[in-house]
Chain A
């Protein structure tokens, strides 16, 4: 905390500021601002303090204001205008991303994996400015299957699987025929014969079924890149806040996500890369980052649909409550609504009978403190004026109320 006398402010000024209703951090700011002024009179200091205080009172949420209910309504009403069906947009280079209501539901439900997982991969300086270098990173991320590298044919007469690899593709993706052969031996447990760009192998015992089985398994092998990422799109984008002052940077968009693996890849900028799976963010970057990404994703979903007039404070409140316990909890009966103390509040949400049945089996007691419980039993809710008790005074007539 700032010491006012250390800033050269006298005791009168300190008294004036300390007299206000401001929180300590705002008082510090007032002291700092006042200390910068020369020849400050006590009246001026008082004016500043009063002005700051009145501004602070105006912007403050009133005591007992039902902020949660206001947020729910503020998101809910514009939410009726969201597209109901999953809507894919071609805006970001042909990558499908779930939009609108399904995406919003996915976020507040805290689904383990989103419908369309995707990463936005930013690159380090030398990779972000050169297309060739950027492509190197693409091949390290995108899963390369055998069909991308060459043709697979089966020779039924000799019971052999023959792969003829495409030399240009091998060069481009920086993998050699030897490596391909080795990976096949490791994964399928067969002995391969490699000759130039041709790799051959077959089942131990001649069997038509085993042969076809091998081909099936071969198609599943990931030779290079990250298994979960089926496609990577590279885009050149204008950048306003590039850390290395480039006007344009190559940015990668992926179909599928593996955030932890992607961060560790050389060339990937681990400080700016993000993904749309809040659980992956939580696992790799912690609960605070998860909170940030929940706000960002919900905000972007709404803005994308033209609903940019929802105050971000409502979304921040949602994210705060979802991350309050240090993990990600969903809104709804498996998360926040389901962990409420009150039986009636839980029963009012979903699966009413189950909650009431379990509560009666375990002999639960409801103290009827919350809003929902009080609405159910028809009492004033403990919000706003409902939580303020007034009592008639019984003093004699000549004393005035203080």
Chain B
């Protein structure tokens, strides 16, 4: 199977640990469910991601060097 993460359209995905999730939610003052979503079946998802996890995505941004966004894994 093709390694999806190597494709230039796919930014880096990583699972965020518990403490970091709290920091992020505090920073934006939102609940976890307010985050954008990513499906559990998404081909770019890291293997160890489970439903409810928060994924940190580091994109090459068009408006700045890098943009960091977060998505919550949903069914």
Contact = CB atoms under 8 A, between A and B. Distances in A.
Contacts of B68: 25
Contacts of B43: 283-286
Given A23-B27, A281-B9, A320-B36, 10 more contacts: A272-B8, A285-B9, A285-B44, A286-B44, A286-B45, A287-B39, A287-B44, A316-B63, A323-B36, A324-B36
A67 to B, nearest CB: 14
Interface of B: 1-4, 6-11, 13, 23, 27, 36-39, 42-45, 57, 59, 62-63, 68, 71, 74
A342 interface: no
Contacts of A270: 2-3, 6-7
Interface in A245-278: 263-264, 270-272, 274
Contacts, number: 75
A326 B2 contact: no
Interface stretch (A185-193, A201-209, A289-297): A289-297
A312 B38 CA distance: 23
Given A292-B9, A312-B62, A287 B42 contact: yes
Nearest to B57: A288
Which of the four size classes fits the interface of chain A? 20 to 34
Given A286-B45, A295-B62, A313-B63, A271 B39 contact: no
A198 interface: no
Interface in A310-342: 312-313, 316, 320, 323-327
Contacts of B45: 286
Contact of B7 (A289, A312, A324): A289
A24 interface: yes
Contacts of A283: 43
A79 B38 CA distance: 31
A281 B1 CA distance: 15
A50 B13 CA distance: 34
Contacts of A263: 2
Contacts of A287: 38-39, 42, 44, 71
